[in-house]
């Protein structure tokens, strides 16, 4: 069986290979939460992003989604899936479901934040969503939204006083 360490390293390396730094995700978390949590630092956000990435379920979602994006780019999927992924068809929905498999681990606050990030596409999400050349980020954008939403939720649920603030 693949070791925890190996899976963690591979999933992190895949994010970086696809142009996503953990700091990009931490900045999404900061923007989600800094209006609710006074003096929130990017370091605290980064810590929560790293904690989310420690979970095997999250690592599995990352390696699965990114693999499908890469296979679509390399023209290695059969039709109709290849076209669905390369054109990022809105009604496909399985990319969002994969993201939800991450958010599911972190409680209710994650769901609203996930929907908000998917809708408003700030920062790195916008970059991933803008198609450049042959790139396909159909799964990756949802994975990044989900990691950020989960980190925000984790932060809030770890401190009950923050839950009350965030839900206002």
Residue 74 has a CB neighbour count (10 Å cut-off) of 11
Cα atoms found within 13 Å of the Cα of residue 52, Cβ hemisphere only: 36
**Residue 132 in tokens:** 């450049």
Counting contacts by CB under 5 A, is residue 141 touching Mg ion? yes
**Residue 44 in tokens:** 């605290």
Work out which of 24, 27, 69, 142 binds Mg ion, going by CB under 5 A. Answer: 142
Binding span for Mg ion by CB under 5 A among 5-13, 28-36, 120-128, 131-139: 131-139
Q: Which residue is nearest to Mg ion (CB)?
A: 95
Residue 40 or residue 115: which is nearer to Mg ion going by CB?
115
Counting contacts by CB under 5 A, is residue 69 touching Mg ion? no
Residue 27 or residue 69: which is nearer to Mg ion going by CB?
69
Euclidean distance between CA atoms 50 and 132, whole angstroms: 28
Counting contacts by CB under 5 A, is residue 95 touching Mg ion? yes
Residue 115 or residue 165: which is nearer to Mg ion going by CB?
115
**Residue 23 in tokens:** 């700091």
Euclidean distance between CA atoms 104 and 165, whole angstroms: 21
CA angle centred on 145, ends 75 and 90, rounded to 5°: 50
Shortest distance in whole angstroms from residue 118 CB to Mg ion: 8
Shortest distance in whole angstroms from residue 65 CB to Mg ion: 9
Binding span for Mg ion by CB under 5 A among 16-24, 59-67, 95-103, 154-162: 95-103
Euclidean distance between CA atoms 126 and 151, whole angstroms: 19
Shortest distance in whole angstroms from residue 117 CB to Mg ion: 11
Q: Name the site residues for Mg ion (rule: CB under 5 A).
A: 95, 138, 141-142
């Amino acid at each position: 069986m693949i070791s925890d360490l190996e899976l963690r390293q591979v999933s992190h390396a895949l994010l970086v290979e696809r142009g996503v730094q953990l700091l990009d995700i931490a900045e999404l978390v900061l923007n989600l939460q800094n209006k609710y949590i006074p003096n929130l630092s990017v370091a605290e956000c980064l810590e929560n992003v790293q904690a989310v990435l420690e979970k095997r379920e999250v690592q599995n979602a990352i390696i699965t989604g990114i693999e499908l994006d890469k296979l679509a780019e390399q023209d290695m999927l059969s039709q109709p899936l290849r076209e669905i992924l390369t054109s990022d068809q809105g009604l496909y929905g399985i990319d969002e479901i994969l993201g939800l498999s991450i958010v599911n681990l972190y409680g209710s606050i994650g769901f609203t934040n996930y929907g908000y990030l998917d809708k408003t596409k700030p920062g790195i999400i916008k970059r991933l969503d803008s198609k450049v050349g042959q790139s396909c980020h159909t799964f990756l954008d949802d994975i990044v939204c989900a990691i950020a939403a989960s980190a925000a939720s984790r932060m809030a649920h770890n401190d009950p006083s923050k839950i009350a603030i965030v839900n206002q």
